[in-house]
Amino acid sequence: MFLVDYLTKIGLHEKEAKVYLAAIELGGGSVQELAQKSGLKRPTVYVVLDSLVAQGLVSEEKKGRGSSFVAASPEALKRKAAEQKKAIDEAFPFLTAMWTGEKSKPQVRVYEGLEGMKEIYRETLWKSKTPVWFF
């Protein structure tokens, strides 16, 4: 079962991993055989096989009235992981540029009366790091 964990880490769903491993162990097989080996129900295996075929991890071979499904080489998994890494590397600069860390929260201060006006005056003129112009 530890192989299922490894396969899920590179992006397969748990059921996809189970069916892929069953196809490897059997050297290929019918939907019924893959369902028995993986412990999944046959209708579920059909859906999972469609996904695995689309990803290039399983190929379908027509045999008479039925089909046999054969797992692709584990090298295909390596290519899939490399493609995912490449996609992340390409997106990384854009994601980093969009990320600003913690958003700064706006500060609101309330000033009242004459003392409040004096405080505004002091903050504006004496604590300002840039020139302040009044007209």
pLDDT band per the 50, 70, 90 thresholds, residue 131: confident
Residue 33 in contact with residue 67, Cβ under 8 Å?
no
Residues in the chain: 135
Residue 45 in contact with residue 59, Cβ under 8 Å?
no
- Rounded to whole angstroms, how far apart are CA atoms 113 and 92? 51
Unique residue bearing structure tokens 């309330």: 110
Higher pLDDT, 121 or 1: 121
pLDDT band per the 50, 70, 90 thresholds, residue 75: very high
Considering the domain 2-76, what is its CATH architecture?
Orthogonal Bundle (1.10)
| DSSP alpha helix (H) spans, 10-102 | 14-26, 31-38, 42-55, 74-98
Can you give the pLDDT at residue 102? 63
Can you give the pLDDT at residue 101? 66
On the question of pLDDT at 135 being above 60, the answer is: no
Question: How much is the average pLDDT of 93-98?
Answer: 85
